């Protein structure tokens, strides 16, 4: 099939590349000419394991192309995916849909035969209805169908998540489009993915409800971890003990710092805001947002206790600053709260991240980037493990530190506390 992806951010680029790998002809469109020129040279704008190889392979075999010309690309395609950003609006909690609607307007100028217009961007329920109205101003409804096909990719695991999804959700108000989409996804369905066909509004809500539910699970275990810390229990035992109940499930029960990234914080706020428009109070999701907003503060309070109220001039090695491992994404990472606070309190921080230097800390006092794990740990009083990169899981602390009183604060519970204690260092985890 001939596909066009509008927007080469996470969702557009990963889905476009994977669709081309499944044998479709795909054009990825973006306004940003530098991005497009770079992609043509195989320079990928994001860090995502496996993506570069797939871009190079499919660009070379000409199934994948890149363009800044939206109208021309839409004309050449049967299915058009809108994959643009839906950030939180300034001074509001709702999603800013400007880019979705402006893509819709542009598309409407290029419809020369029947096309399926798919919203893959995360959009509040009823956005598809509005998009349909915008396009219908220029084009007769018999020449297009607006469909919702939300994406469930995780950064850092995006290729795998695309190829082996648990489910493919297609929300369409016409059967013909749903059938075409089922055919497009048939290589994944034949490998075991469930195909969920709903009406358009339901698919839009499935996406928000999924993210809000996962955020709830994380906040739930984070709060249980707080109780574990006071009662001498290891939260890892609780995660195993409850997760084995199939009604609960073991995934997304890892306690840690506040959840971050470009989705959970934004989407939990947006679903609450959408519900308010319909006079519905999503009180559970509201508490999740509140709990997560308090999380960094709680972790800093514990850190202050661990350091016996002496943060000034303490040397801190901070490992991993992105919102989680296997990504270079800093959006809503809890490090953006933790590091500035510690810098303000007079700590001397050397941070290291496998994805390199981060401009976000450029203007902070006594915060510098280390080019290796060893350089960051050397001479430090405390090591904070903020993300769960594999690179951190086998650190030999003794090799890097001569400090016999070294403290390790493992915010992802990647080490066994008894093993660290055995080598003579003080260890603190989350919910332990
Ligand atoms: C999330 C969803 O997992 C995807 O299904 C969805 O497609 C995506 O948002 C989106 O809407 O685009 P992502 O934000 O990339 O994906 O990353 P996650 O792996 O879900 O992690 C989000 C946050 O939760 C991170 O800060 C992570 O460290 C935290 N987390 C996750 C935990 O603290 N504990 C867990 O057990 C799992």
pLDDT by residue (tens digit) across 122-135?
Answer: 999 999 999 999 99
Nearest atom in ligand 1 to the alpha carbon of residue 253 is: 36
CA 340, distance to chain mean position in Å, is 22
Rounded Cα gap, residues 169 and 86, in angstroms: 19
Q: Which CATH architecture has domain 2-198?
A: 3-Layer(aba) Sandwich (3.40)
State the pTM of this model.
0.96
Do the two domains 208-294 and 295-428 of this chain adopt the same fold?
Answer: no
Pocket probe mutation, ligand 1, options 48, 120, 154, 387, max atoms within 8 Å of Cβ: 154
Atom 19, ligand 1: residue with shortest CA distance: 154
CATH class of 208-294: mainly alpha
Compute the distance from residue 209 Cα to the ligand 1 centre, in Å: 14
Give 321's contacts (C-beta < 8 A, 6+ positions apart). Answer: 330, 333, 335, 339, 351, 353, 358, 360, 361, 386, 387
CB-CB contact of 400 with 378 (8 Å): yes
Q: Which of 4, 28, 83, 263 is catalytic?
A: 263
CATH class of 295-428: alpha beta
pLDDT at 252: 98
pLDDT at 40: 95
Nearest atom in ligand 1 to the alpha carbon of residue 334 is: 26
Task: Identify the residues whose C-beta falls under 6 Å from ligand 1.
Answer: 122, 151-155, 211, 214, 218, 252-254, 256, 259-261, 263-264, 323-324
Atom 9, ligand 1: residue with shortest CA distance: 263
pLDDT at 316: 98
Compute the distance from residue 174 Cα to the ligand 1 centre, in Å: 32
Q: Tell whether the torsion through CA atoms of 334, 249, 234 and 294 is positive or negative.
A: positive
Pocket probe mutation, ligand 1, options 83, 257, 259, max atoms within 8 Å of Cβ: 259
Compute the distance from residue 106 Cα to the ligand 1 centre, in Å: 32
* Per-domain boundaries in the chain: 2-198, 208-294, 295-428
Compute the distance from residue 95 Cα to the ligand 1 centre, in Å: 19
Pocket probe mutation, ligand 1, options 119, 208, 218, max atoms within 8 Å of Cβ: 218
Compute the distance from residue 183 Cα to the ligand 1 centre, in Å: 29
Atom 29, ligand 1: residue with shortest CA distance: 259
Kindly compute the dihedral angle of the four CA atoms of residues 270, 272, 278, 283, in this order, to the nearest 10 degrees: 170
Compute the distance from residue 210 Cα to the ligand 1 centre, in Å: 11
- According to DSSP, the residues that pair with 3 across neighbouring strands are 26, 79
- Three-class DSSP labels, the chain: CEEEEECCCHHHHHHHHHHHHCCCEEEEECCCHHHHHHHHCCCCCCCCCCHHHHHHHHHHCCCEEEECCHHHHHHCCCEEEECCCCCECCCCCCECCHHHHHHHHHHHCCCCCCEEEEECCCCCCCHHHHHHHHHHCCCCHHHEEEEECCCCCCCCCHHHHHHCCCEEEEECCCHHHHHHHHHHCHHHHCCCCEEEEECHHHHHHHHHHHHHHHHHHHHHHHHHHHHHHHHCCCHHHHHHHHHCCCCCCCCCCCCCCCCCCCCHHHHHHHHHHHHHHCCCCCHHHHHHHHHHHHHHHHHHHHHHHHCCCCCCCCEEEEECCCCCCCCCCCCCCCHHHHHHHHHHCCCEEEEECCCCCCHHHCCCCCEEECCCHHHHHCCCCEEEECCCCHHHHCCCHHHHCCCCCCEEEECCCCCCHHHHHHCCCEEECCCC
Compute the distance from residue 110 Cα to the ligand 1 centre, in Å: 36
Nearest atom in ligand 1 to the alpha carbon of residue 261 is: 14
Is there a catalytic annotation at residue 28? no
Radius of gyration of the chain (CA): 23
Q: Tell whether the torsion through CA atoms of 310, 316, 320 and 322 is positive or negative.
A: positive
Nearest atom in ligand 1 to the alpha carbon of residue 254 is: 36
Rounded Cα gap, residues 207 and 228, in angstroms: 32
Rounded Cα gap, residues 429 and 238, in angstroms: 14
**Which stretches of the chain drop beneath a pLDDT of 70?**
none
Give 371's contacts (C-beta < 8 A, 6+ positions apart). Answer: 352
pLDDT in tens, 232-273: 999 999 999 999 999 999 999 999 999 999 999 999 999 999
């Amino acid at each position: 099939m001939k596909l066009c992806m509008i927007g080469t951010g996470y969702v557009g680029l990963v889905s476009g590349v994977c669709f081309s790998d499944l044998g479709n002809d795909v054009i990825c469109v973006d306004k940003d000419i530098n991005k497009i020129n770079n992609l043509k040279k195989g320079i990928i704008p994001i860090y995502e394991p496996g993506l570069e190889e797939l871009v190079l392979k499919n660009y070379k075999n000409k199934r994948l192309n890149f363009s800044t010309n939206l109208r021309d690309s839409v004309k050449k395609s049967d299915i058009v995916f809108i994959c643009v950003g839906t950030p939180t609006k300034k001074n509001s909690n709702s999603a800013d849909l400007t880019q979705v609607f402006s893509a819709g307007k542009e598309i409407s100028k290029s419809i020369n035969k029947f096309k399926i217009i798919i919203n893959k961007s995360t959009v509040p329920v009823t956005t598809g209805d509005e998009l349909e109205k915008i396009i219908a101003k220029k084009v007769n409804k018999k020449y297009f169908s607006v469909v919702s096909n939300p994406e469930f990719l995780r950064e850092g695991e995006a290729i795998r998540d695309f190829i082996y999804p648990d489910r493919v959700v297609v929300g369409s108000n016409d059967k013909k489009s749903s059938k075409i989409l089922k055919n497009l996804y048939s290589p994944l369905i034949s490998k075991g993915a469930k195909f969920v066909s709903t009406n358009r509004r339901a698919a839009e809500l499935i996406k928000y409800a999924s993210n809000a539910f996962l955020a709830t699970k994380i906040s739930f275990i984070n709060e249980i971890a707080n109780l574990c810390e006071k009662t001498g229990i290891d939260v890892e035992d609780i995660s195993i003990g409850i997760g084995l109940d199939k009604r609960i499930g073991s995934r997304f029960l890892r306690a840690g710092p506040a959840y971050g990234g470009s989705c959970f914080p934004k989407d939990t706020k947006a679903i609450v805001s959408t519900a308010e428009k319909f006079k519905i109070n999503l009180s559970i999701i509201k508490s999740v947002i509140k709990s997560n907003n308090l999380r960094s503060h709680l972790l800093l309070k514990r850190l202050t206790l661990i350091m016996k109220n002496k943060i000034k001039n303490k040397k801190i090695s901070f490992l991993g600053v992105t919102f989680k491992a296997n990504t270079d994404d800093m959006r809503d990472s809890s490090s953006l709260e933790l590091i500035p606070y510690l810098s303000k309190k007079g700590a001397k921080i050397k941070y290291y991240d496998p994805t390199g230097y981060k401009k976000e800390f450029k203007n902070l006092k006594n915060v510098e980037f280390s080019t290796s794990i060893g350089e960051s740990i050397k001479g430090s009083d405390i090591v904070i493990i903020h993300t769960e990169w594999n690179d951190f899981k086998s650190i030999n602390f003794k090799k890097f530190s001569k400090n016999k009183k070294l403290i390790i604060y493992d915010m992802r519970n990647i080490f066994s506390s008894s093993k660290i204690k055995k080598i003579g260092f003080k260890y603190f985890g989350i919910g332990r």
